[in-house]
Structure 1
């Protein structure tokens, strides 16, 4: 449980007005003093996350948020951050302060949650301090069209009932998402090409590589790991043709040259484009590069913050490639972490990272938001395959994506 990446956990977020007991509730759910609790309204200023496990759901992240009724200039910023949490929320908990009761405020928050198609659980907190009646509770449920669970976060009453409702309401993806599981079968060999250069973290593999290896093993296949300069020798010594070769995008060109044409080839980033988002939409986005004109603006978005190397992929290489294709100057902006810019109308293209540190809901939100603004979006892996002339080979095994790419 402790080693499950945050991006692979179910994200459960708690919303409500200030001083409704949201922080006390997260402490009760985790059985730890995770969030700062105070009678002073507005104690929680930034979202607070806690990793835990709720069986049989498995590893989850519970997110405590600032009150959505916060006021003032600083309060508006806190509310904005709270609403951003919705973009990565898989399951929402709406907390009603039992000492105040239901108001138009909770109704409006519930509407926003439902508009995003997020399953929601209603909670009346401070049951031990409240004077509302069963008739009041019934009317609130009828108005919200939502079953309300009564709890006292302070005294930890009703917490087990809430956990059972979390299990009941937890969304499960009918596709049973897998990185490579549907592309291989038990007993297959899969070769993973992992460059070890100055950008590689010392003493370990990066998250997409780790997760792909685990997915291969989970599907009873065999992972063969090699560097790009040893790939040709690796393939010669296998004794059996691998069912798939997966490479780091930055070694795509050499790996493609050394991999026979009858062996399927793709990249970690393209696999994660499908696993975390919408590969077809990202392939559609890469075609917009040839429509760029000198002076256009491009946003490069990354889901994490990291130390940039001298030849960083997002800061240096991708801007260089795009300027070479366009044949003129392009303006670039960069964003990183969980914040995604609102001003997408300024850009002619969005280039996104592989999203290994984001959960699927957050990445799908970003793709959908870009689409709603009619701004094409592509990810690193798809773009690199395109600029190095490796499309459509890199998406050969994904027929719909290939068809979209080959459309005029």
Structure 2
């Protein structure tokens, strides 16, 4: 891959009042004119996401937000959308105009960040025009609970210090969860079953497959790739049996038949349920499928937008399988991209994609949002394994969670 996937980048949200210099700060951090800069307050109206590289931080997504002091009916809507960014951010840069100091707006953001356990770096901007005293800096550290740096986005002063503060403050664990490598020993072999059909992108593999291969190699194990029709012959050719078979969820039935019981079996989507979310919660949610009744409302949510194929997994296959389990029709609703419904209380089940295009914080935020209204949630791979009757087998790499499923009444 030429670029780090956006879901694996450190997400840095820029907050501050109107005209505090947020967009100018982004341009200074990246040494590019990527954000629109204007002296007119309120130039940035909606959150803007930019994937980029900041040295020495590495690959990041910078999220530019509207001013937190925006006013009027439209302004309140903009502020709300900015606040929603806190569900997707790994850390926050709180930008303050050095000429005005800390106000209730900054204190409110700091409190929200503390509630969400989001690290904050306080940035006094425009020091080319205003002096910031040591007392102001110490008070900001205490009031806003974050390291404080002083910069001039206009002339670049202090930008190096800000980059150091980002490196030192970024959560150490924001992307350290392995996909599968921690389940393999050096020298182990994993067979990846990759169906090639009309939904497969020509000339390349899909992102979760590529990331899984890389994770296996990073952990000094070996990856062997085969189509589902070649799996039986593939396994027979090994002198030493592979440790694990990882399949596309849609090929679960065929792959399960051809995988010996002494070889671990799972799917890319189940691995991503752990990598990007909370596998235990998603497995617990699968039990709700048994309780569905004809007419129940089900939300199927995908974190990205893509061209729908004729037999699309989210709009065709999963609805068909769920109808077969229920023995009747269900009322399906769909969401895609960054928009996730605010009112989830009427749904009996949420089925979410593998979340390969969003970061773990956003996926966890969605899971918590669903849990708060008492609605069960499951992801594609867990759902498919359950409706095919092989979820226990598909959880063989995770004996603790497998036992939890056995204990569920």
TM-score (norm 2): 0.96
* Contact 1:295–1:331, Cα closer than 8 Å, also in 2: yes
* C-alpha distance in 2 between matches for 1:175 and 1:108: 28
Note the alpha carbon deviations across 1:23-63, whole angstroms, 9 max, x for none: 00000000000100001111112322333334554322222
**Is 2:265 the counterpart of 1:265?**
yes
- Kindly tell me: are residues 175 and 98 of structure 1, through their superposed partners in 2, closer, same or farther at Cα, counting changes over 3 Å? closer
Structure 1 residue 124: Cα displacement: 1.0
- 8 Å Cα contact 1:194-1:228 kept in structure 2: yes
The one-character-per-residue Cα deviations of 1:130-176 (angstroms, maximum 9, x if unpaired) are 25544444444443344421111111111111111001101111993
State the partner residue of 2:301: 301
Q: Show the counterpart of 1:193.
A: 193
Moved over 6 A (4+): none
- The alpha-carbon deviation at position 376 of structure 1 amounts to 0.5
* Equivalent position of 2:284 in the other structure: 284
Alpha-carbon deviation of 1:269? Answer: 0.3
Residue aligning to 2:371: 371
Distance 1:143 1:223, change over 3 A: closer
What is the alpha-carbon distance in structure 1 between the residues aligned to residue 232 and residue 265 of structure 2? 14
- The C-alpha deviation readout for 1:70-120, integer Å capped at 9, x for no partner, is 233433332232222211111111111122221111111111111111011
Residues 1:291 and 1:220: Cα distance change in structure 2 (over 3 Å): same
Task: Check if 1:210 corresponds to 2:210.
Answer: yes
Q: Does 1:405 align with 2:405?
A: yes
Conserved in 2, the CA contact under 8 Å of 1:280 and 1:400?
A: no
Kept in 1: contact 2:304–2:357 (CA 8 A) = yes
Cα gap change, 1:161 to 1:257, in 2 (>3 Å): same
Q: Secondary structure at the match of 1:265?
A: strand
- Mapped to 2, the partners of 1:234 and 1:335 lie a distance apart of 39
Q: Does 1:41 align with 2:41?
A: yes
The aligned runs of 1:129-208 (5 Å cut-off) are 129-130=129-130, 133-173=133-173, 176-208=176-208
More divergent stretch after superposition (9-18 vs 47-56): 47-56
Stretch of structure 1 that moved more, 349-358 or 84-93? 84-93
Q: 1-side partners of 2:307 and 2:341: how far apart? A: 21
* Residue 240 of structure 1, CA deviation: 2.4
TM-score of the pair, normalised by structure 1: 0.96
For the 8 Å contact 1:303–1:353, the answer to whether it is kept is yes
Quick one: structure 1 residues 73 and 284, their matched pair in 2 at CA, closer, same or farther if it must change by over 3 Å? Answer: same
Q: Tell me: CA distance 1:235–1:151, structure 2 relative to 1, closer, same or farther (3 Å).
A: same
Q: Are the equivalent residues in 2 in contact too, given 1:57–1:170 (CA < 8 A)?
A: no
* Partner Cα distance (2:112, 2:170) in 1: 19
**1:230-286 superposed Cα distances (whole Å, 9 cap, x missing partner):** 111111222321110000000010011111111111000000001111100000000
Q: Is the contact between residue 181 and residue 221 of structure 2 (CA under 8 Å) also seen in structure 1?
A: no
CA separation in 1, counterparts of 2:137 and 2:3? Answer: 41
In structure 2, the CA distance between the partners of 1:71 and 1:244, relative to structure 1 (3 Å rule), is same
Q: 1:30 to 1:55 in 2, by over 3 A?
A: closer
Partner of 2:94, secondary structure, is strand
Q: Per the alignment, do residues 242 and 137 of structure 1 end up closer, same or farther by CA in structure 2, a change over 3 Å counting?
A: closer
**2:124 is paired with a residue of what secondary structure?**
strand
Alignment partner of 2:293: what SS?
coil
Pairing of 1:359-398 with structure 2 (within 5 A)? 359-398=359-398
Aligned to 1:11: 11
Q: 8 Å contact 2:147–2:165 — kept in the other structure?
A: no
- How far did residue 194 of structure 1 move? 0.3
Cα separation, 2, equivalents of 1:131 and 1:181: 51
Deviates more, 1:384-393 or 1:293-302: 293-302
Aligned partner of residue 24 in structure 2, secondary structure = helix
- In 1, the alpha carbon distance for the partners of 2:2 and 2:237 equals 38
Unaligned runs of 5+ in 2: none
Q: Which residue of 2 aligns with 1:336?
A: 336
Q: Gaps (5+ residues) in structure 1?
A: none
- Of 192-201 and 182-191, deviating more is 182-191
Moved more, 232-241 or 114-123: 232-241
**Match in the other structure for 1:255:** 255
Q: Is the 8 A contact 2:56 2:163 kept in 1?
A: no
Residues 220-259 of structure 1 aligned to structure 2 (within 5 Å): 220-259=220-259
